[in-house]
Structure 1
């Protein structure tokens, strides 16, 4: 048998980690001298330790490692590894979004961008015949994938859709997750509803406050701040219902983000 220091050298795992694995119940010494407290390990424990190290380096927590060791079958392990890959991918995307927001904050603090001013107008929106796809999505960034899904359905089923499209956000407040969004593409004729893809007539909106947002999508936040100022000054109007968004120029038809053009629409009612 080997003392803990010797076992550490032979396995290339620090004594600190060996003690941690023991405390966590993952790998106990083969024997502990009751008089000296010395811990001893055997060569037969090395393959088991290698499994622990492999799972640890794959991003598994102690609890997940313990569960995997208790069910060390190839099919179960492959499932757990795939789940861990999906978790890591999601974490990477979340960190990318945080990085983008940090860059936006840094740009604002350094004064690299002049404040944008948005002109708020009022117009009437008629009802439209549309092909609709409504779903709860993880966040607003996931809307692009939903548009690709709608486009793929239209191609597969030979649905002639107009280039005129818009999104309806059914949540009455800002949502950080689980966003209720409906994509609408104008159609001349209705077809058969299939799963989440439905044909319907959208509601007309007599009074729709709107503004145009030029440039990167990050400018949209400033547009909503302008809406707040406008509503504060024009208190004869009150916002209600579901807001809409039309991306006139975006990633699919414009390479330069500074040339993007988005229309934000908020329905309002006039107080009597």
Structure 2
């Protein structure tokens, strides 16, 4: 048996942490000396301590480690590690997004243009014959999956569609999840609906506020803010209906996001 100091030296784990693992129930001493109340550990406990350290270094909490130790088997641990991997990947992506925003902010500071202003124009949008796919998806980033699904279906069924595609966002507000999106591709002639794909005529929009967004899709948020400022200055208009988006240049025909070109469209009524 080893005293806590000896066990600490042999395992390279501090006495403070060994006491903490005792208090949390992860690693109780093998024995407590009745005369001195010293914590005593056995060599057999080293493998358990190594499991605790392994999971701790991967970012698992005390409660998660306790659960893992109680149910330790290859299948359970593999599933636990897969879930932790997904959590870490999401954390990395979130951190990378923040780093990108920091770099953009630094660039804008250097160029003295923290606020990006976009030109807004008014035009009339006619009705279009379209082949469309409408679905409630997890978030706005899932729109690309709808385009892939439509493109694959059109190719498999020899459905000729125009390159002048656009997206309609049917929600009247911004959604963090469960977004109602319809992707539309103009067609020369109407066909038979094949669920969930449909043919229909889109609604004409007599007054549509439009602005072009150059560069990465992250710039779109700034475009909406500029549209808000524009509407504030043109109080004769009010928003109505569903907004639209046209990606004139995107990942499929441009190598770098700096060359993307997106058109934002918001329907208006005159009051």
TM-score, length-scaled by structure 2: 0.86
* 1:56-100 deviation line (CA, Å, top 9, x unaligned): 223322111111111112222222221111221111111111111
Q: Is the 8 A contact 2:134 2:180 kept in 1?
A: no
Q: Residues of 2 paired with 1:229 and 1:222: CA distance?
A: 11
User: Equivalent residue for 2:64?
Assistant: 64
* 1:109-136 deviation line (CA, Å, top 9, x unaligned): 2336586543322222233322214232
Q: Residues of 2 paired with 1:24 and 1:106: CA distance?
A: 45
- The Cα of 1:36 is off from its aligned counterpart by 3.3
User: Equivalent residue for 1:85?
Assistant: 85
User: Equivalent residue for 2:233?
Assistant: 233
Uncovered stretches (5+) of structure 2, i.e. residues with no partner:
none
Q: Residues of 1 paired with 2:72 and 2:157: CA distance?
A: 46
Q: Is the 8 A contact 1:133 1:150 kept in 2?
A: no
Q: Is the 8 A contact 1:130 1:202 kept in 2?
A: no
Q: Is the 8 A contact 1:137 1:180 kept in 2?
A: no
User: Equivalent residue for 1:110?
Assistant: 110
Moved over 6 A (4+): none
Within 5 Å, give how 1:163-202 maps onto structure 2: 163-187=163-187, 188-194=189-195, 196-202=196-202
User: Equivalent residue for 1:8?
Assistant: 8
Within 5 Å, give how 1:149-164 maps onto structure 2: 149-164=149-164
* 1:116-160 deviation line (CA, Å, top 9, x unaligned): 54332222223332221423224x344334433433343344443
Q: Residues of 1 paired with 2:95 and 2:198: CA distance?
A: 35
* 1:205-247 deviation line (CA, Å, top 9, x unaligned): 2221111223333432332233123212221110122211101
Assess, with a 3 A threshold, how the Cα gap between structure 1 residues 81 and 199 changes in structure 2: closer, same or farther: farther
User: Equivalent residue for 1:214?
Assistant: 214
Q: Residues of 1 paired with 2:95 and 2:191: CA distance?
A: 42
Aligned residues: 269
Q: Residues of 1 paired with 2:116 and 2:144: CA distance?
A: 25
Q: Residues of 2 paired with 1:6 and 1:203: CA distance?
A: 79
User: Equivalent residue for 2:137?
Assistant: 136
Q: Residues of 1 paired with 2:156 and 2:12: CA distance?
A: 56
